[in-house]
């Protein structure tokens, strides 16, 4: 049996915190152990795929399962770590269902970080960062990413503006109807002098940005305003649509290749 | 008071079946009457916006509300009917939550029709067409569209292929990693000899298309295969991402203008 045949297609792909290397025995969280042994009913000898955002993806084998425990030993690296596009999604927090959707879909769409920012018209007053991270981990496990987007600590709009890293371009989804169309604006922005390839997409709340927020954004040299067509999009739709267009025009969807 | 001032900004925007014209008294569905009089607590004298997909958008005034009834009289046209892009979304049906999401988001993203098609790997066996239509109507009311996407009767993949109108280009979201990137493919397709501007986006089920389905699609002259990057997208994410890219590169997001 040659090496290629020995790589099995595992039924589960899990994110772990521990270091992954040959013969490592990373800890699985209780929920992961339950999932493997009781939901998927995998026993000793079955394989799982593991990644931790740093060491690539590894094949591991279950050595012991049952009674709420599941132990694994890491066998071999199946994919080397590689980073995706450096794109943040900065968004006004919304209610529980759409914010979970934003976290999951933005992860699939390859964002490096999720940053909830409270604008003037934001209707919710707090964000469950732990739940956002759980949504992102679950989506990362399923979509084949080698990392999980960072969740940046929620702040108010003014603080975001004050601390914005000037080498990161900020693409603002502008629903006033006065911004250039997104494909035109991003094609133009992609030709700008390189800023290290750092980007962010900013999406406002259902009530939109205030005039003063838009004015403040308009004064910044690293801001590109983009329009998303004639219909009124929900905040989550605008976020996902903006990310998809960015990946298609500027990001890693421009390359051909086998799925990761 | 001049005419401009007389246009009020209504708190509700509803889709009705009846003809809209000056002094018409369209029927509201019981759910709409309840929504206006008990949820929004609007009484006689308040205005609502109405559209029916044919006659544009009209201002109507409540003449009587309460006791489960709500009567309105149509006063004036506030927007003339105009049609959006002629883009169908053809998709393998998924479970209840993601299919509702697809219907709502595709409506916001401007599709003219939704067509559920059963492919070989489609995991669900039936589609609630009435519920799909309700999802689409609700989204159309909220996003400012003047029409509601048609729901085309679900069929099997072979029937869809056999009856495909050859003047409608079919953009296939191909997850094999071998299709050209979507921005490149759509930019090329947009320069093709005009086919009347009729388009469709086809998205497969979670399990992907079969080899024979892809082979059948590959033989058709009106098919453009597109890739959506290196990550594995859920079917609903792929549908929304594909529609957003299409609108940005080919559709009505290319125009600048005030929101509808």
pLDDT of residue A83: 80
Q: Give dist(CA A180, CA A138) in Å, integer.
A: 35
Orientation angle between helical segments B235-249 and A182-190, nearest 10 degrees: 80
Dmax over CA atoms of chain A, in Å, equals 67
| Banded model confidence at residue B260, pLDDT cuts 50, 70, 90 | very low
Instruction: Give the H or E element holding residue A211.
Output: helix A211-218
| pLDDT score of A4 more than 70 | no
| Banded model confidence at residue B188, pLDDT cuts 50, 70, 90 | confident
Which of B231, B234, B236, B255 is the mutation pick for testing A, counting most A CBs within 10 A? B231
Q: What is the mean pLDDT of residues A66-88?
A: 92
Predicted ipTM of the assembly = 0.91
Among A187-201, B119-133, B154-168, where is mean pLDDT lowest? A187-201
Q: What is the mean pLDDT of residues B142-167?
A: 95
Instruction: Give backbone dihedrals phi and psi of B30, rounded to 5 degrees, phi first.
Output: -55, -40
pLDDT of residue B6: 52
Which of A108, A175, A254 faces B231 most closely, judged by CB atoms? Answer: A108
Segments in B123-252 forming alpha helices (H): 129-143, 157-162, 182-190, 211-218, 235-249
Arithmetic mean of pLDDT over chain A: 91
pLDDT of residue A199: 96
Using a CB-CB cut-off of 8 Å, the residues of chain A touching B231 are: 108-110, 143-145, 259-260
Considering chain B, what percentage of its residues have pLDDT values greater than 70?
93
The most confident of the ranges A203-207, B73-77, B165-169 is B73-77
Which of B179, B229, B251 faces A247 most closely, judged by CB atoms? Answer: B229
Arithmetic mean of pLDDT over chain B: 91
For the record, the structure tokens of A230 come out as 């004639």
Among B33-42, B49-58, B192-201, B229-238, where is mean pLDDT lowest? B192-201
User: What are the pLDDT digits (tens) for A216-256?
Assistant: 999 999 999 999 999 999 999 999 999 999 999 999 998 87
| Banded model confidence at residue A260, pLDDT cuts 50, 70, 90 | very low
User: What are the pLDDT digits (tens) for B10-61?
Assistant: 889 999 999 999 999 999 999 999 999 999 999 999 999 999 999 999 999 9
pLDDT of residue B195: 42
Q: Give dist(CA B31, CA A64) in Å, integer.
A: 56
- Its pTM stands at 0.92
pLDDT of residue B174: 94
> Chain B: nearest CA to A187, how far in angstroms?
11
Measured CA to CA in angstroms, residue A58 lies from A25, A54, A72, A149 at distances of: 12, 11, 11, 19
């Amino acid at each position: 049996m040659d090496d290629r045949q020995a790589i099995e297609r595992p039924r589960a792909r899990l994110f772990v915190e521990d270091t992954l290397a040959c013969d490592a025995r990373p800890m699985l969280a209780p929920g992961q152990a339950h999932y493997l042994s009781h939901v998927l009913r995998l026993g000793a000898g079955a394989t799982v795929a593991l990644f931790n955002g740093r060491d690539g993806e590894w094949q591991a084998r279950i050595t012991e399962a049952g009674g709420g425990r599941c132990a694994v030993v890491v066998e071999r690296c199946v994919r080397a770590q590689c980073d995706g596009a450096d794109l943040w999604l900065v968004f006004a927090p919304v209610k529980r269902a759409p914010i979970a959707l934003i976290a999951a879909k933005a992860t699939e769409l390859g964002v490096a970080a999720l940053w909830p920012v409270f604008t003037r018209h934001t209707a919710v007053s707090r964000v469950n960062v732990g739940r956002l991270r759980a949504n992102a981990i679950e989506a990362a496990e399923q979509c084949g990413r080698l990392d999980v987007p960072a969740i940046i600590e929620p702040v108010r709009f003014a603080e975001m503006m004050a601390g914005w890293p000037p080498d990161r371009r900020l693409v603002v989804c502008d629903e006033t109807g006065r911004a250039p169309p997104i494909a035109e604006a991003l094609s133009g922005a992609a030709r700008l002098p390189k800023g290290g390839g750092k980007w962010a997409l900013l999406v406002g709340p259902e009530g939109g940005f205030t005039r003063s927020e838009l004015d403040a954004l308009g004064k910044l040299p690293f801001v590109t305003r983009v329009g998303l067509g004639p219909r009124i999009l929900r905040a989550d739709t605008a976020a996902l649509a903006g990310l998809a267009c960015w990946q298609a025009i500027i990001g890693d969807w421009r390359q051909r290749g086998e799925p990761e």
